[in-house]
């Protein structure tokens, strides 16, 4: 659904007032975010062997799960169902993982962002500061 001329005009006015009031926020909001695709591309492509083994494990897990459901309501069938589900999940995760991804922890990109001093934390701190200033003015 397209915007009307009036709505476009209002949005342009809002954008202009945002740029006047807080140019740093406006530039941060208009900057493209491209950190995540680059980091995933640096890990390398998914290996076909990993995909095949992972999908095979997922299919075997599903077969075990269906077999467990067909056994009825017993402790053995429940345990077999849990094992089948775990094998299915492990197979899918293995298929979706990338080779060589163990060298870097998952928290590393976040710590890099925090050390730069930008991003979401600085935005929240700025908003809290502005809120406190607004409360003081009242």
Average pLDDT over residues 82-86: 93
90 C-beta neighbours (distance < 10 Å), count: 14
pLDDT of res. 104? 46
d(CA 83, CA 65): 8
> Considering the chain, what is the average pLDDT of its residues?
78
pLDDT of res. 42? 47
pLDDT confidence band for 44 (50 / 70 / 90): low
pLDDT of res. 124? 83
**Cα angle 27-33-39, degrees, rounded to a multiple of 5:** 145
Q: Is the pLDDT of residue 35 over 70?
A: no
d(CA 73, CA 134): 63
pTM of the model: 0.43
């Amino acid at each position: 659904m397209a915007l009307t001329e009036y709505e476009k005009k209002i949005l342009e006015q809002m954008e202009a007032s945002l740029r006047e009031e807080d140019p740093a926020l406006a530039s941060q909001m208009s900057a493209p975010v491209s950190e995540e695709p680059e980091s995933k591309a640096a890990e390398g492509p998914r290996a076909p062997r990993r995909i095949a083994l992972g999908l095979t494990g997922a299919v075997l897990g599903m077969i075990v799960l269906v077999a467990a459901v067909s056994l009825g309501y017993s402790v053995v069938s429940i345990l077999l169902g849990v094992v089948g589900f775990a094998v299915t999940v492990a197979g899918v995760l293995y298929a979706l993982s990338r080779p060589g991804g163990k060298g870097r922890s998952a928290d590393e990109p976040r710590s890099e962002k925090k050390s730069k001093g930008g991003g979401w934390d600085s935005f929240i701190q700025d908003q809290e500061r502005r809120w406190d200033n607004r409360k003081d003015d009242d």
